[in-house]
Structure 1
Amino acid sequence: MPDIKNGSGVTMPHKVAIIPYLDELTDEGQAVGACNTIVKRDGKLIGTNTDTIGVRESFLQNVAEPEQVYRGRPGLVIGGGGAARSAVYALVKLGCQTVYLVNRDPAEVTAVIAWCTTQGYGAGLRHVRTAAEAEAVEDPGAIVSCVPNFPPVTPAEVEARKVIEVLLTKPHKGAILEMCYHPTVHTEIGDLAQRAGWQVILGTEAMLYQGFEQVKFWTGREVKEMPIVAAKDAVAAALRDDVA
């Protein structure tokens, strides 16, 4: 394996603040407006966003029958922060022409839609505000949950949870990526989805695949050459130890 040289990862809360210090952004970094990976090439600092790849590959690598599960159906993103933009971008790239947004703060949703629209992938975004609105929309097939694992308390949080429950209990059952995996992979939304009959994909899958893409960016090594099975086994063992 080639040495990783002149490369760096970027974590919250610096994914946006780092951008003015970069010389270039890849298409993914520009589209999402956040950078989690830097490499130095020809004296230039180039930033990208591999979180989008992590979300995409979580579905591609874990859903056995995408045509039946999510292709041709709306997507859904729960949340309104920077991770939501990555999730929207990934779902659009997966072929979701419509993506519902559910969040406790309407202003955050408005900001996400505005950003995605300026970047050319926001035309199909729709804010689902109430449970009544959720009853009337088409069943989603792919969901990405980007919110912390806290029980709803405020009226806005309670209404957002009702919207999620309505969408999860519609007749079609798809796949949901629960991005929250710390301090536990077992979340309220994940449990709701599982009881409703959805395939639940753990957020550790997105973590792994965004990491594989980072190594590819740094080294030029193809993902298929990386120790994917060993990495997944190590994560699974750590999760078992955590549960025990």
Structure 2
Amino acid sequence: MRRLLGIIGNPLGHSLSPILHKTAIEKLSVNYIYEKWELAENELESFMEKAKNEDSSIVGFNVTIPYKEKIIPYLDELDTLAAKLNAVNTVKYEDGKLKGYNTDGLGLFETLIRNNVQYENKNILILGSGGACKGIAMFLTENKVARIDLLARNKQKVEDLSSRIKSTGIGSSFIDWSDLRNLAIDDYNIIIQTTPLGMENQVGEIEFPYEKLTSAHTVIDIVYNPLETDFLKKSKAYGAKCINGLEMLVYQGYHSFKIWTGLEEDTELMLRTAYSLLEG
């Protein structure tokens, strides 16, 4: 009987997902195990074959950097949102098939609600071009935001996403990373940082015009380890409302677990556990 859950990506040393799900699973008193599988790119295909094998114990798994897009050729199906995004963070085995989903946008959206961030008719700037950026941007198009601009290095990749955003009736444009210092920050209400910069052991910093931030801005960094990245620390110094990525991690994981099992984890327990680990 399939009882194995987990996460694939590389690196995974920073990941809190195993212990958070383990804590929630113990409270539910159900027979699931959540593991982490750090895969080199040349191991991805064999892992997917193993997951699909009828003798496998794998129910499903989360997908993180750098496989949210690379995993798609190995899947049998995508749900509507994942197909629209061309990015997957959740995979479920069912009836002999592997199906991909994306809960990133929902995790970020619930973070906005939890923190009383007003998003309707607001202008949003997203830093990055990866799977998380796609999931967040396209989910927000369905929630009455005014505009979503994308700041990244990969022009071709982001212009495609920007076109899809505009097809929903919401304004969007590509901004080259080299223009970061010249940004008109006053044009935006919410700024969302989706790159790995700031994560433990990641080299590099974001040359952001922090001095242009005010208390009218909400700044979100989806990195959660450390709890306060350099990006958030500097944004906070200029008065911005700052939110780390921990709540997004918990809520996207909650929705993944529900997809796999139909059960609901205790998100407050997961948040308390995460904060105790990272603050301790």
Q: TM-score, normalised by structure 2?
A: 0.68
Matched, 1:146 2:194: yes
Local SS of the residue matching 2:99 = strand
Amino acid aligned to 1:230: L
Other-structure match for 2:159: 113
* Greater percentage in strand: 2
* Greater percentage in helix: 1
Against the structure 1 CA distance between its residues 77 and 44, is the aligned structure 2 distance closer, same or farther, given a 3 Å change threshold?
A: same
Amino acid aligned to 2:139: A
Q: Please give the residue correspondences for 1:50-129 in structure 2 after superposition, counting only pairs within 5 Å.
A: 50-63=103-116, 66=117, 69-103=118-152, 105=153, 108-118=154-164, 120-121=167-168, 124-129=171-176
RMSD of Structure 2 on Structure 1 (CA): 2.7
Against the structure 1 CA distance between its residues 122 and 195, is the aligned structure 2 distance closer, same or farther, given a 3 Å change threshold?
A: farther
Amino acid aligned to 1:9: N
Structure 1 position 210, deviation (Å): 0.7
Q: Please give the residue correspondences for 1:193-208 in structure 2 after superposition, counting only pairs within 5 Å.
A: 193-208=235-250
2:228 to 183, 186, 190: 186
Amino acid aligned to 1:231: M
1:232 to 271, 274, 277: 271
Other-structure match for 2:218: 175
Amino acid aligned to 1:43: G
Local SS of the residue matching 1:213 = helix
Deviations 1:162-194 (A, max 9, x none): 3x653x24xx61322211223x12222212221
Structure 1 position 45, deviation (Å): 1.7
Against the structure 1 CA distance between its residues 122 and 179, is the aligned structure 2 distance closer, same or farther, given a 3 Å change threshold?
A: farther
Count how many residue pairs are aligned between Structure 1 and Structure 2.
Answer: 219
Against the structure 1 CA distance between its residues 132 and 151, is the aligned structure 2 distance closer, same or farther, given a 3 Å change threshold?
A: closer
Residue segments in structure 1 that go unaligned for 5+ positions in a row: none
Matched, 1:219 2:273: no
Contact 1:9/1:36 (8 A) holds in 2:
yes
Structure 1 position 12, deviation (Å): 2.3
Local SS of the residue matching 2:61 = strand
2:98 to 23, 34, 45: 45
Q: Using CA pairs under 8 Å that are at least 6 residues apart, name the structure with larger relative contact order, 1 or 2.
A: 1
Against the structure 1 CA distance between its residues 44 and 3, is the aligned structure 2 distance closer, same or farther, given a 3 Å change threshold?
A: farther
Local SS of the residue matching 1:93 = coil
Contact 1:74/1:139 (8 A) holds in 2:
yes
Amino acid aligned to 1:177: I
In the alignment, the residues of structure 1 paired with residue 129 and residue 204 of structure 2 have an alpha-carbon distance, to the nearest angstrom, of 17
Against the structure 1 CA distance between its residues 165 and 216, is the aligned structure 2 distance closer, same or farther, given a 3 Å change threshold?
A: farther
Structure 1 position 88, deviation (Å): 1.5
Contact 1:102/1:128 (8 A) holds in 2:
yes
Identity of aligned residues (%): 26
